[in-house]
Structure 1
Amino acid sequence: MAREVIAEQLSVEPYRVTQITGGLKLLEKFDKLKPDVILMDVMMPIMNGYDVCQEIKQNPARSHIPVILVTALNSREDMLKGLETGADEFLSKPVNGAELRARVRTMLRIKNQYDSLQSVMQLREDLAHMLIHDMRNPLTVATLYNNILLKRNQLSPRDKEYAVLVRDGLRNLAGFLDEILTTAKMEEGLLKPTSQPNDISQLITNVVEGQREVARLQGLQLMLDLPQERRSACIDATLFKRVLDNLLSNAFKYAPDQSQITLRLRYLGDENNIPHTPSFRLQVMDQGPGIAPENYDRIFNKYEVVTLKQSGQEQIGLGLAFCKLVVEAHNGRIYVSPNLPQGAIFNVEM
């Protein structure tokens, strides 16, 4: 059989070759096998090589593993179909041993480079998390002494205003550090939302009241547009508040002086929600510089933030990636749209 011939041709190399009798069995045993390279015939029973390759490449945890399709089909259409499903290489039958070993070596080199890069990135993230933990102690001390100054009531009105700004800045910094750690935990599946029924209007009102002084000091009008009816939604109140704090903080940074920021809540559907269907839409509307349409998706990707900032895109930050993780963990979605004639609308549906 073809797989036995290929296994024999690879036997001269220091590889551990495992033979699987079909695409379905490969998918079933995938996590246990942990392959570095996959050689697969196009013509297989039940699931052909194209379908299996597509299944592998659509899984983010497996998409980096090289797939070599072995086929007797030599038409341009067949090769294009294989590329569309994510195949990394092709070998034509009958398979030449020297060519086979050369292709496998190339794919292994690419896989090893990917693994090395992942290790470096993981090391950098681990170091960043250690730094964040180390920053918490001096941040706590600064917050403590600033609060003591505020409680003594011995400051002049102007100094007190400055101390309030310092307090709010320290609070935002602490929240930012917490978000980085929370984001890492959520990405690793170590933290899941603790959802309970909550009055959405009341949660939004509480957050806005806590931000009114910040808005006033920055010369901004903070407006609420809430329906008279009260409804509950099953969400993690703590994480939801952090999402809203982030979106408001983002709006405050880029809104021009004397402009208006509006929070609008609208309920979707009836109170007897269908599972996984959003029950409300929250919009944070500003009159800032806005977001370029080509960046609507990119601003929520933490790996795109530096590139976007270097290109001059404003109104972005790591907080938006945190918001996306939290909203999607609630089976919701977050997206941006234009606030004509100027500004952006950040929409949260949960």
Structure 2
Amino acid sequence: MDNQPFILVIDDEPDNFDVIETLLFHEGYHLNYAASGQRAMERLEIFQPDVILLDVMMPDLDGIEVCRRIKANSQWQHIPIIMVTALTAKEDLAKCLAAGADDFISKPVNGLELRARVNSMLRIKHQHDQLQALLQLREDMVNMILHDMRNPLTSILLATEILKLPDFPTLRQQNKIEQIVSCVQQLQSLIDHLLLMAKLESGKMVLNLSETDLCGLCRSVLANFEAIASQKHLELIIQLPQPHISINLDPAIFRRVLDNLVSNAIKFSPQNSQVVLRVNDWDAGGAIIQIADLGPGISEDLKQCIFEKYEVGKLIPEVSQLGLGLAFCKMAVEAHGGKITVENNQPQGAVFTVLLPESRG
């Protein structure tokens, strides 16, 4: 991918563009030329440069008016503008800054100064782009969290309204109460994920490591999902090399990792299929945990980003797929010094593999 910055040079004299091009030749920039202010405005409709070098003294539409129009447009106002001028009076330079110019350079243009000022403006543009990406990420995150919260909240409200009906059968009240409890647990799990990830990212999460029976932990996790799996007629299978494996980890955090992976496997598995949780020895002295399903699998493109925060997989439209669970798994596993990957299962589905290099006791 070409990440070289684009610079738009606006000047009515082609010779001046040749000078700029010569001075910036070894910097690796893409230079575009506009011979008038009007041509520049037309060019901005097609592409947005990273920096604009704008001559002040131009016929018809002078540089100050061009600068004012660019900065008045919300789509263009973030582009840094360096005014190139032969004017030296403070009043003239003040007009440039009042029009919205970010910097200026005097003619005749000095190559060292030009490169320094362009690099300075590119840093500002890069910081702006990073901030915009962060704001967009936050907006996407809020939208996805609200989307994932809306479903359980809607179910809670509906179940509550049904319970308020005077002729609602008593025998079905318990089912509605259980539905409400389940939805509240979903909301609590989402909030817990957000809080734990925030702590892990900030370095404030301290793992409470202790010698833990990994096999017993895996058996306990599957036992908790038996009821959910039976509703989809899924068979949960556990494969262990021996009854007990003692490994140093934070049992509460790592259990949440296993819960996420098993929950995802069940969520995406077709009815009357299997979910397999297996543990094997690892040559590095730790253990390998794998959770395999026979679901739709994961595309190659999605494998590259599925562990990123707030990444949503387009696998099954009706299934909630907020990218928090797998992002948490990655952070938690890496906090233990391990690694998590995903590969294709055979004949179909996905296999998530967790490598724990902790030495066994």
TM-score, structure 2 as length reference: 0.55
Q: Within the alignment, does 1:170 sit opposite 2:184 as a pair?
A: yes
2: CA distance between counterparts of 1:340 and 1:159? 43
Q: Within the alignment, does 1:294 sit opposite 2:301 as a pair?
A: yes
CA contact (8 A) 1:226 1:265 kept: yes
Change (3 A) 1:208 1:313: closer
Which residue of the partner structure matches residue 342 of structure 2?
A: 336
1: CA distance between counterparts of 2:197 and 2:286? 24
Q: Within the alignment, does 1:98 sit opposite 2:107 as a pair?
A: no
Structure 2: runs of 5 or more not aligned: 1-109, 164-168, 357-361
Q: Paired residue for 2:287, among 275, 280, 286?
A: 280
Q: Paired residue for 2:328, among 316, 322, 327?
A: 322
Change (3 A) 1:300 1:189: same
CA contact (8 A) 1:196 1:234 kept: yes
Q: Paired residue for 1:207, among 221, 225, 235?
A: 221
Q: RMSD across aligned C-alpha pairs, in angstroms?
A: 3.9
Change (3 A) 1:244 1:317: same
State the Cα deviation string for residues 290-328 of structure 1 (Å, max 9, x = none).
11233323111125x247569999977321111000001
Change (3 A) 1:229 1:252: closer
CA shift for structure 1 position 227: 2.2
Which protein has the larger Cα radius of gyration, Structure 1 or Structure 2? Answer: 2
CA contact (8 A) 1:254 1:315 kept: no
Moved more, 323-332 or 245-254: 245-254
Matched residue type, 2:282: L
Q: Within the alignment, does 1:180 sit opposite 2:186 as a pair?
A: no
2: CA distance between counterparts of 1:311 and 1:106? 44
Q: Within the alignment, does 1:249 sit opposite 2:255 as a pair?
A: no
CA shift for structure 1 position 218: 2.3
CA shift for structure 1 position 194: 1.6
CA shift for structure 1 position 161: 5.2
CA contact (8 A) 2:306 2:312 kept: no
1: CA distance between counterparts of 2:278 and 2:313? 31
Matched residue type, 1:333: K
CA shift for structure 1 position 228: 2.5
TM-score, structure 1 as length reference: 0.56
Matched residue type, 1:109: I
1: CA distance between counterparts of 2:346 and 2:320? 17
Moved more, 319-328 or 221-230: 221-230
Alignment length (residue pairs): 233
Matched residue type, 1:342: Q
Matched residue type, 1:256: P
2: CA distance between counterparts of 1:314 and 1:120? 23
User: Matched residue of 1:179: which SS?
Assistant: helix
1: CA distance between counterparts of 2:203 and 2:134? 19
CA contact (8 A) 2:308 2:323 kept: no
